Amino acid sequence: MTISDPSLDSVDSPDDDSDASGDSPAAARRPIDPERIGLGGLLLAGLLLVLVGTRLVTGVAAVIALALTLGTIVMLIVTAVLGGPEARRKIAPYGLLKPGMLWLALFYLAPLVTLLRNSLSTLPSRFAVKAEFDWNFGNYSTAFTDFGGQFQRGFGYAAVATILTILLGYPLAYVIAFRGGKYRGLLLGLIIIPFFTSYLIRTIAWQSLLADTGPIPNVLDAVGLQPLLDAVGIMDGDKILNTPAAVIGGLTYNFLPFMALPIYVSLEKINLNLVDAAKDLYSGSVRAFFTIVFPLSLPGVFAGTLLTFIPASGDFVNQQYLGNPNTSVIGQSIQNQFLVQNNLPVASAMSFVLMAIITVFVVIYSRFFGTDDLA
Amino acid sequence: MSAPSSPVGSVVRWGLNLFAAAVLVYLFLPIIWIVAFSFNEPKGKFNFVWQNVTLDNWREPLKDEALTDALVESLKIAAISTIIATVLGSLIAIGLARYRFKGNALLDFVLVLPLTTPEIVIGSSLATLFLDQDITRGFNTVVIAHVMFQISFVALTVRARVRGFDWTLEQAAQDLGASPMRTFWKVTFPLILPGILAASLLSFALSLDDFIITLFNAGSVSTFPLFVNASFKNSFSPQINVLATIVLVASVLLMASGTLIGTLRSRRQAR
């Protein structure tokens, strides 16, 4: 994070100062800490929007809450106008962050609270759309008992796919970073290009490539790999489509760039003089790699793991197009319960469990490695 | 890296290079399939079996009207949501990178959260909010949803680009008598603009491509991915391949021209 230089404040243009002091000289020396107004106003407005969004406050109270939210914005502007350049500088970040953060409060945080409440609700009748909140924890036991297998498969496939993306993505990133030379930019572009065709259509393309009469099973058959792949359980007889291997393959394919790019970024930062130094001290190439390059590239691997494992564990597109009913995953069950069965409470409970497990994973993970390399 | 020291070393080196090349081929297999089948003469309603090379699909790229409508809808949604998210996200990025302030760790954390939430959770939770509030899901709700995940993406991408920015340039401009507004538009903005443009281009692509979140919040609106998914059991027209190829080529050209302009610019500055 860039730290702003405090000396910057003293050089605010002179006409600015005269504006503020001209309006109200007393206000410029207000005792209230502008940072408190900024942060307090932002948090209060966010909280109020969550309350209104989740309908925890309704009617007149909601109107008051919205008025208060507006009030925090007015307060921010008043402080900025009346305060001196120092106050303005202190309050500026809150003003810059506020619009986007309030959007996230209303459309990210509030929905999660609504989701939690829905997961503890009961549908009044089979055909009702809206559930009534009554602390019904039964939805959670339904989620675990009826969909335990889907949870296991969802996380299992995602884990295997994540490991595969490391195995494929690391060498790719390594070759581009250290042997790409002047073609580095071009090669990186090649990794990004698949992003520009629809994810869904790419997956459909895999369905066609892996189909029983498609090119890949034909090639595998022709080179005689099919009995071997059948023996190790990757293929089912002469089929590869509609097997767990196809689902995992699709996930690996779709998330490979998310792994390769962060690894590349961390490899690129490595100072090659370190490797040369190691070699000067008679370390072999392999040893130099494992003692210097690999540890320094770990932040990229960790960032890539988050960017791959999280979306992969909730994905159902690969399963829908490449799997069979026996390989159904949690994302699919949520989608089915929500959009097809209209069973909001159970769908919400499953969503919430998925989110909770991943949050625990992310918290433990980022305690060790930080989230700095995510972007 | 230094020169190979032994024959074994060079075998390892070439093995690694070949492996990387194979991974790149793997990345491009479906892309090749998509482009190739845009030149196929389909048999029946499904363009999945190779028949003959034809240019017919390219002569009538908009023949599948419902598909074209869906693509137009997708482009509209992506354009609107990208503009909103780019403004909101860039403001956050500047705020986070330019200032040190109370609560920035907390706000930073809130910003990262949407990126660490599976799409299915984002999609289903937003849909429960809209249902709960009796808001009919349609075009507007899709835009709201897309802006939501784009904000974090734009903010973090722009912040990463702005991190190395030399803020003393602002001081220099103000020393020379420029007002804060003028300083921002004349000095800061032009310097961070390439980062903002790159982030908005990628977030446009994210919106265009989004399937899971859109599925939950679209109501009766049909976007390109939603249409392809919904009609998949009945048909898969070659126009899908044609339009996907056009989108691909247009994006690659945009990205390439952006990089080219950036390179030319930095060369001119270096002189």
What are the residue ranges of helices labelled H in B163-188?
168-175, 180-183
Site from B8, B27, B246 to mutate, A interface, most A CB atoms within 10 angstroms: B27
> In this predicted model, which residue has the larger pLDDT, B184 or A101?
A101
pLDDT at A113: 95
Closest-CA residue to A204 (of B267, B18, B211, B48): B48
Which of the four pLDDT bands, split at 50, 70 and 90, describes residue A194?
Answer: confident
Q: What is the mean pLDDT of chain A?
A: 85
Site from B33, B92, B116, B165 to mutate, A interface, most A CB atoms within 10 angstroms: B116
CA dihedral A167, B203, B238, A212 (to 10 degrees): 20
pLDDT at A346: 93
Site from B31, B37, B125 to mutate, A interface, most A CB atoms within 10 angstroms: B125
CB contact under 8 A, B100 and A311: no
CB contact under 8 A, B128 and A118: yes
Considering only alpha carbons, which residue of chain A is nearest residue B241?
A201
With contacts defined as CB-CB under 8 Å, which chain A residues touch B167? Answer: 2, 4-5, 8
Considering only alpha carbons, which residue of chain A is nearest residue B157?
A375
Residue-wise pLDDT tens digits, A314-351: 999 999 999 998 889 999 999 999 999 889 999 999 99
Q: b vs e for B165-193, b when ≥16 Cβ sit within 10 Å of the residue's Cβ?
A: bebeebbebbeeebebeebbeebbeeebe
ipTM of the complex: 0.89
C-alpha angle with apex B256: B253 to B259, nearest 5 degrees?
150
pLDDT at B16: 92
Q: Nearest 5°: phi and psi at B7?
A: -60, -35
Euclidean distance between the first and the last CA atom of chain B, given in angstroms as a whole number: 30
Radius of gyration of chain B (CA): 23
> In this predicted model, which residue has the larger pLDDT, A180 or A208?
A208
Which of the four pLDDT bands, split at 50, 70 and 90, describes residue A31?
Answer: low
pLDDT at A17: 40
pLDDT at B271: 64
Which of the four pLDDT bands, split at 50, 70 and 90, describes residue A85?
Answer: confident
Provide mean pLDDT across the span A60-83.
89
Residue-wise pLDDT tens digits, A287-323: 888 888 888 898 899 989 999 999 999 999 999 999 9
Which of the four pLDDT bands, split at 50, 70 and 90, describes residue A370?
Answer: low
3-class SS of residue A238:
coil
Least CB–CB distance from A310: residue in B118, B152, B209? B118
Please state, in angstroms and rounded to a whole number, the distance separating the CA atoms of residues A285 and A277: 11
Q: Are A85 and A12 in contact (CB under 8 A)?
A: yes
Which of the four pLDDT bands, split at 50, 70 and 90, describes residue A7?
Answer: very low
3-class SS of residue A301:
helix
Please state, in angstroms and rounded to a whole number, the distance separating the CA atoms of residues A365 and A374: 12
3-class SS of residue B118:
coil
Site from A5, A13, A113 to mutate, B interface, most B CB atoms within 10 angstroms: A13
> In this predicted model, which residue has the larger pLDDT, B215 or A225?
B215
The list of chain B residues with pLDDT below 70 reads 1-5, 270-271
Q: Nearest 5°: phi and psi at A132?
A: -105, 135
pTM for this prediction:
0.87
- State yes or no: pLDDT of A359 exceeds 70: yes
Q: Are A178 and A267 in contact (CB under 8 A)?
A: yes
Least confident interval from A6-15, A278-287, B188-197: A6-15
- State yes or no: pLDDT of A247 exceeds 90: yes
CB contact under 8 A, B1 and A169: no
Q: Are B96 and B163 in contact (CB under 8 A)?
A: no
CB contact under 8 A, A168 and B132: no
- State yes or no: pLDDT of A98 exceeds 50: yes
pLDDT at A18: 40
CB contact under 8 A, B27 and A191: yes
> Is residue B215 within 8 angstroms of chain A, CB to CB?
yes
Tokens of B55: 């240019």
Least CB–CB distance from B1: residue in A97, A178, A204? A178
State how far residue B44 is from chain A, nearest Cα, in angstroms. Answer: 16
3-class SS of residue B40:
strand
> Is residue B18 within 8 angstroms of chain A, CB to CB?
no
Place of tokens 């008025």: A67
Considering only alpha carbons, which residue of chain B is nearest residue A188?
B24
